[in-house]
Amino acid sequence: MKTPNDPRHRRRRFILQELFRREFHDQKIGDHAQKIYDFHTEIDNQISKAATEFPINKINRVDLAILRLAVYELLYNKKEPPHVIVDEAVELAKEFGNDTSPSFINGVLGKILKA
C-alpha cells in the first residue's frame, strides 16, 4: 500500500465494507463483492483449514470479510503478487480490525499460501 488514498486500497476498502454489510443485511452488493460472495463457501473452507482453532462462525466479522477478500484475490483473481495482497489485507486489518486482527490475518494468509 502506497498511501491510504491509493485507488487500489480505496477499492479494497469499499469491497470490504460491502462484504461486511452483506453479513448482516441481505441486500444487493457491487459486482466485485458479489464475485467474492459467490465463492464464499470455497473461500470459507480454505480459511477453516488455515485457522483450525477458530470456526468460521467465531471469527470476527470484519476479519472474516478481510480474509474472504484476500483469499479470493490469492486463489481466484490472481492479479496482484501474493505479498501485495497479504500486505493490503494486514493494512485493512489495522484500519478496521482490533489489536489482534493484523497478526491473525497475516497468520491465516501465510498458512493458505504455504498450502
- The enclosing domain of 19 has a CATH number of 1.10.940.10
pLDDT at 105: 97
Is 51 part of a structural domain of the chain?
yes
C-beta separation of 44 from 56 below 8 A: yes
- Average pLDDT of 85-108? 96
Is 2 part of a structural domain of the chain?
no
Q: Is the pLDDT of residue 84 over 70?
A: yes
- Average pLDDT of 62-79? 95
- Average pLDDT of 53-60? 93
Is 23 part of a structural domain of the chain?
yes
pLDDT at 3: 66
- Average pLDDT of 31-58? 94
Please report the sign of the dihedral spanned by the C-alpha atoms of residue 55, residue 57, residue 62, residue 66: positive
pLDDT at 4: 67
Is 76 part of a structural domain of the chain?
yes
Cα 70 to Cα 53: distance, rounded to the nearest angstrom: 20
Is 1 part of a structural domain of the chain?
no
Average pLDDT, the chain: 92
Our count of domains for the chain comes to 1
Range of the domain at 105: 7-114
